[in-house]
Amino acid sequence: MSINYFFQFCKLTLKYSTQKEIIEELYLNGIIKSYNNIKSIEGICKLKENDIRNRLVSDFTYYNSDFRKLINNKVLHFTSENQIIKKDGRIYRTDIELFISSYGLFTIECKKMKSAEIRYVNDGISRFADLQYSEKEEYAGMIGFVCSGHISKIVNNLKPKVRAFSFATNSDNLLNKKCVDWEFSFQSKHIRIDYSSIHLYHLFFDFSKNKAYTINGRHIIFVEN
């Protein structure tokens, strides 16, 4: 065990006492920081879902001040496209996994969106409810890459669909609860097929304002505020 690892890990344990704290105060803020780093990349809204995700996780390692030192000192481990093999031989691959010893595994499913698509639920949240992902965890996350349309309308129109899917009793307040004050976010809790519950953090990132123009032969990227 290196001195750097020991020092960084001790700092974390003093600052965060629970998995919920480390998710809400470190992971979510770090992910938002990486979104802000990549949102103006030329043509990012035209990339495939996995390629946008790859730009995000690449930023974790090379440019994200919240994550980079923890990753380099092997305190924070993350994977993309990690393979999960179930007892019956079925294989699933997660989009993003974040792990720090003693704080559990935080799995994130990513979806590229242009509307409040039911696919976000049926091919996203369902993976947690059906125990494909995060079988032994209490918390997980979803990220929506919004590449066209009005993000606020998409988020608001998605909430009833999320609520209609195995929603935990007396959890309606979570749909109005932001994730670390991020404007386009909410939380939810769902009952899984083994009757346990999973708490999900939903973040939505707007790439629709990243537009390319050609002016006098020059290619210019314009990002609206």
Coil/strand/helix, residue 123: helix
Say if residues 60 and 67 touch (Cβ distance below 8 Å).
Answer: yes
Residues 155, 186 contacting (CB under 8 angstroms):
yes
Q: What sections of the chain are H helices per DSSP? A: 3-15, 19-22, 28-38, 49-62, 68-72, 119-120, 126-129, 151-163
Position 3 scores a pLDDT of 67
Query: Domain segments of the chain: what residues?
Result: 3-223
Q: Are 118 and 47 in contact (CB under 8 A)?
A: no
Per-residue pLDDT at 213 exceeds 50: no
CB 134 within 8 A of CB 99: no
Residues 6+ apart with CB under 8 A from 80: 53, 54, 57, 95, 96, 97
Residue 206 has pLDDT above 50, yes or no: yes
Residue of 188, 81, 88, 192 lying closest to 135 (CA atoms): 192
Task: Read off the pLDDT band of 2 (50, 70, 90).
Answer: low
Return the half-sphere exposure (C-beta side, CA atoms, 13 A cut-off) of residue 138. Answer: 7
Percent of residues, the chain, with pLDDT higher than 70: 90
Q: pTM of this prediction?
A: 0.89
Look at residue 73 and tell me whether its pLDDT is greater than 60: yes
More confident residue, 131 or 84: 131
pLDDT in the model for residue 11: 76
